[in-house]
Structure 1
Amino acid sequence: MLDGRHVMVTGAARGLGAVLARAVVEAGARLTIADLAEEEGRTLATELGAGFVRVDLGEPESIKAAVASLDGPLDGLVNNGAIATGIGGIGFEDIELETWDRVMRVNVRGTWLMIRACAPLLRQSGSGRVVNVASDTALWGAPNLLSYTASKGAVMSMTRSLSRELGPDRIGIAAVAPGILTTPSTDYVPEARHKLYEDGRAVPGPQPPEDIAPTVVFLLSEGALTLTGQVLPVNRGFVFT
């Protein structure tokens, strides 16, 4: 489905990002992994026959340098990199300003800056695609997770707005909004929250990250342009839109 297309996945050294990276390669794409975790990222890149660029999504100059190192046109960008671990379980009155600002800097500003930096390369493709990884926490209003929920709500809004700015260049952009996945990054989530999701899904039970990959691969394909601007709640029916 992605034969001959060049795709970059951010935050791909581990967890959901690594699953998406594998799926992209299996679909025939040439992959570039972008991550701050250099050792893990390079190890996975070697395994998958992919390229690797180090990027700190909180630093604009790092984003510019990472994108400047890419070869030729870019057919797909997956904005998966984000701060998610260790920032939940706190009421809105107790969130530290530094934590709020760090989450917004990486999850919101970093996503915007990555798209801005990649836009010229996506235009060169003639059929560029962007997939933003949001979260269904922003669809149902998860409590005690305000900084993360707000950041992912912003990602959804950016997706809709950018679809109108990028559309004239035939660049499609969409977002996926999974629920809690069975990855190491969700080990800290209280068992009660896991159970809420597992019992509340239309298809009950846990959701592995591999669930998300087929949707992301399709959204990166040339045939996905009609879904530009859409937010897809890929959560086994926990939230409907």
Structure 2
Amino acid sequence: MSHLLVDKRIVISGAARGLGLSFATACAKQGAEVVMLDILEDEVCNQANLLKEQGLKASAWQIDLADVESIQSTVESLVTQNDQIDGLINCGALATGVGGKNMMEYDEDLWDRVMQVNVKGTWLLSKALMPYLKACKAGKIVNIASDTALWGAPNLMAYTASKGAIIAMTRSMARELGEDNICVNCIAPGLTIVEATAYVPQQRHDHYVNGRALNRKQYPEDIDGTAVYLLSDLASFVTGQNIPVNGGFVFN
């Protein structure tokens, strides 16, 4: 089978670790040039170099999704070299350290920080890249939500609310951008074994495994295929959809 993303340039936020890194690797292996963004500059550069050592096409840039000037300057820098942008995966998000408190225990600063990075950052990065996605005549945006927004995970309200907003934003973006032939979709993963979920209590991990139709842990590579499909020409008539990829913990 031929590679699905040959000659495509895909931007991925949150690409230094976890899901974002897995998406970047999968896209690169499918023939894409991946543009890896993360606030962790050294780490994302190291990961891009590892991909290049495998003969894959990758570059890395530092970005702070909580800072509009950082978003704008990063986009301006990466498009000066090549203004073709075919796809965007909005994976960058604040997850570590945002759980374990109920709604009465959350403080406003944490709530605002989560919304600023997860929701506003997704909007601003999409907005900054929009001229280039429109120019390619068949742009694709894949937003990463969470199935916590579908079942209402307790003691995780700020994160859950932010991911619910991502699902709603996806639908609005799909309506607004359809006239430019841009497809906008969303993936809602379940609890996945990555660095950001290392703090999650074992009881929550067990709750997921036992509640899935497929009774096992979820790993980043379980989600890669859906992301690649949504970025490819195979999904040229799919837009505005939220796809839970969680082993059947939540049915859509």
Question: Is the structural similarity TM-score above 0.5?
Answer: yes
SS at match of 2:189: coil
- Deviation digits for residues 98-147 of structure 1, max 9, x if unmatched? 00000000000000001100110001111100000100000000011000
Show the counterpart of 1:223. Answer: 234
User: Paired residue for 1:123?
Assistant: 134
**Is 2:84 aligned against 1:73?**
yes
Task: Quote how far apart the aligned CAs of 1:227 are.
Answer: 1.9
Matches within 5 A, 1:189-228: 189-228=200-239
2:6 paired with 1:3: yes
Counterpart Cα distance in 1 of 2:152 and 2:238: 24
Task: Determine the C-alpha separation between the residues in 1 that align with 2:161 and 2:187.
Answer: 16
Q: Does 1:183 align with 2:191?
A: no
Question: For residues 1-241 of structure 1, what are the structure 2 equivalents within 5 Å?
Answer: 1-49=4-52, 50-69=58-77, 70=79, 71-241=82-252
- SS of residue in 2 equivalent to 1:107: helix
**Aligned-residue RMSD, C-alpha:** 0.7
Which runs of no fewer than 5 residues in structure 1 stay unpaired?
Answer: none
Separation of aligned partners in 2, 1:233 and 1:226: 19
SS at match of 1:110: helix
TM-score between the two structures when normalised by the length of structure 1: 0.99
Report the alpha carbon displacement of residue 78 of structure 1 after superposing the two structures with TM. 0.3
Unaligned runs of 5+ in 2: 53-57
Secondary structure in structure 2 of the residue aligned to 1:53:
strand
- Identity rate, percent: 49
The residue matched to 2:88 in structure 1 has which SS? strand
Q: In the TM superposition, what whole-angstrom CA distance separates every residue of 1:41-86 from its partner, at most 9, and x where no partner exists? A: 1011111131111100000010111111122120000000000011
TM-score by length of 2: 0.94
User: 1 CA distance for matches of 2:86 and 2:16?
Assistant: 20
CA distance in 2, matches of 1:13, 1:194: 24
Q: State the secondary structure of the residue aligned to 2:250.
A: coil
The residue matched to 2:245 in structure 1 has which SS?
Answer: coil
SS at match of 2:186: strand
Q: What is the CA–CA distance in structure 1 between the aligned matches of 2:193 and 2:39, rounded to whole Å?
A: 22
Aligned length: 241
Could you tell me which amino acid in structure 1 is paired with residue 33 of structure 2? R
| 2:104 alignment partner, SS class | helix
Q: How far off is 1:223 after superposition?
A: 2.3
- Deviation per residue, 1:133-184 (Å, 9 max, x gap): 1000000000110000000000000000000111100000100000100112
Secondary structure in 1 matching 2:237: helix
Q: Which amino acid aligns with 2:46?
A: T
